[in-house]
Structure 1
Amino acid sequence: MFTWNSTTVDEFILVGLTGRQDMQILLFIVFLTCYLVTLIGNVLIIWLSNVNPRLHTPMYFFLKNLSFLDICYTSCVVPNMLINFLLVKKTISSNACFTQMSVHMSLGVTECFLLLSMAYDRYVAICSPLHYTKIMHPMLCISMAGACWVGGFIVSLINTVYTLQLPFCGPNIVNHFFCEEPTLLELACADTSLNKTVLFFCAIIVALAPFFIIFFTYANIISSIMKIRTTGGQRKAFSTCASHVLVVTLFYGTIFVIYLRPGTVHVANQDKMATLFYSVITPMLNPLIYTLRNKDVKLALRETTRKKVISYLLS
C-alpha cells in the first residue's frame, strides 16, 4: 500500500461503464462470463505447459508466463468491477485506488516486454533453427522473463511516485470503471504536465519501441520464411507466428489509444472501450487464439486428457 501527504480525498467514486441502472445486471453477467473464460483458458494453458513434455520448450515457457500475467492482469480490474455492477454507489478508497493503478500499470508494462521476448523467441526459432536450443537455453528464458517483471515494476513505481506527489482535493468522481492513471490525473488539483510527459515517454519506451522492434523482427522472420523451399514448411513457420502477431496487434493497438496521444486529448467513452479491450477482452482471447490456431496445444490437450481418462478408468 502507498501513503502520501498531499491527498485529502479519502475515497473516489467510479462512474463505471454506464450510468444506466437497467444495464447493470446484464453487464455483470457478461463480464462474469468473460472473467471465468479468462481464468479457465489461461489456467488450462499453464496446466498443459507443466504436465505435457511436448510443451516443455521456450515458446511455451513464455506462453505460460503470459497466461499467468493475464490472470493477474484481469483480476486486478474485473472482480471490483463486478462488485460495482451490483452497487448503487461505486466507491473505492484512495489507498485501494492508487494501489490498483500501480499494479495494473506494472502488469501492463510487463506484458509489453513479454510480448517482445516472445517475438525474439520466434525470431531465433525461424531465422537460426540449428542454434535454437543453444541460444534459447533455460537460464536465458528465465532471465528474460524476470527482466520483464522487474521492468514492469520499475516503470510503474516511477509513475506512481510522481502521481502520489499530486494533491487530490476534489472532485473525486472518476469517469472510468477502475483507477487508471490518465483518468486520475484529470482530478489532480495541480499542474499535471510533468506527470503526463513522464507517462508519455514511458509509453514510448515500453510500448512504441517494443512494437517497432517486433515489427522489424517479423520483417526478418518473413524474409527467412520466404526462403523455405517447401510450401508445407512455409505454412508451418507462418502458423507458429500468426497467433503471436494477432495478440501483439490487439494489445498494442489499444495501448496506443490511451497512452500515445496528445496530453490534452481525452475522450472518456473511447478511453473506457480501449482500456476494456486490453484489460479484459485481450486476456480472454489470448488462450483462445493460441489454442485454436496451435496444433501442438490441441494435440497436447488431447494426449493429456486421454491419459487422465485412462488413468482414471484403470484406478
Structure 2
Amino acid sequence: MANRLGLTLQHRLPVLSGYSNTSPITSFYHSNSVSSLSKAALKKKGDGGFNLKSPRRLVLGLGAAFWSQFMGMAGNVGAKSFIASARQKGAVEQVLKNVDWPEQFPFKEEDFQRFDETSDLTFYETPRFVTHIDDPAIAALTKYYSEVFPPSNTPGISILDMCSSWVSHYPPGYKQDRIVGMGMNEEELKRNPVLTEYIVQDLNSNPKLPFEDNSFDVITNVVSVDYLTKPMEVFKEMCRILKPGGLAIMSFSNRCFWTKAISIWTSTGDAEHVMIVGAYFHYARGFEPPQAVDISPNPGRSDPMYIVYSRKAST
C-alpha cells in the first residue's frame, strides 16, 4: 500500500486541541515567545545549537494537522505502531517508500517562518569553529561519503558542499580538482581544507546558485536543510546545476539552532523530517524518487544521523 498523502492535504484543521503532548514524535506547546518555553524543551549543546525535545512550539502552517493525518495513514501499519517503530534504527527508511504525493506542493508560506527572522548574515557573522553533531555521527557520515562519492582524484569530478563551514566531513585526504564550498561565514570557509574554492552567499535571501547548468557531480548539505526558507527554489537550482545522474545528499540530525530553523521542522520529528526533505526533491521536479537511509551509529546513545538523497534524472 502506498503512503497516501493526497486527499486530506486539501483540508486544514483549525483546531489542534485533540492532539496529545505525549507522542514520541510530535509534541506541541502553545507559545508566543521563547521566554515561555519550558526549559525542558531544549537541551543546549556546546556549539549553541539544541537538540529538539518535547514540548515543541505549535507550527502555524500545515504542521501538526498535516503530519498527524499522514502518520495515521502511513504504510500498512496503524499510527501508533508506525510512530513507535519510527524511533527504531532503520524504520525511517520506509517513510519514502511508495509515497502517493499530492499533485500540488502541500506546504504553506507560514511553514517556513522562523522564530528569529532577523538577518542570517548577522546571525552567522561570528565564526563558529565547532562541529554541530557528535563524533560518532560525524564518523557515520564520513563513512557514508566514502561509500558513495566518486573515488578521490577522479578526472572531471566537481562537488558542491552547500551550507558549508570549516569542515565538510569528507573522507580524510579526499580530493577532486573542484570542490566548492558555499556558506555564510568566510573565515570558516577559508579554514576548510577540502575546498578548492568557496562562495559566501545567503540562500534564504538569494537562492540562485551562481553556477552553470550541469556543473556538478555531487552536492552535499550537512545539518542545514532545516534552515532553508526557500527550499523549492534551492532544490530546483540544485537540479539545474547537477549533471544528469548527479547525486544530491541531504544529511541531518535532530540538532539545530532552534530559533533559525523553519517552523515545520521544529514542530516535527525525525520520520517527518525525512518526508519533508523527500517532498523538496519530489516537487522540485527533475529528480529520481528520493530515498532515505538511517546511518545513526548508536541509536539512543549518540546523535542520530539521516540521509535523504536523490539523483538528477538522466533524461
What TM-score results when the alignment is normalised by the length of structure 1? 0.24
What TM-score results when the alignment is normalised by the length of structure 2? 0.24
Q: Which has a greater percent of strand?
A: 2
Higher relative contact order (CA 8 A, sep 6+): 1
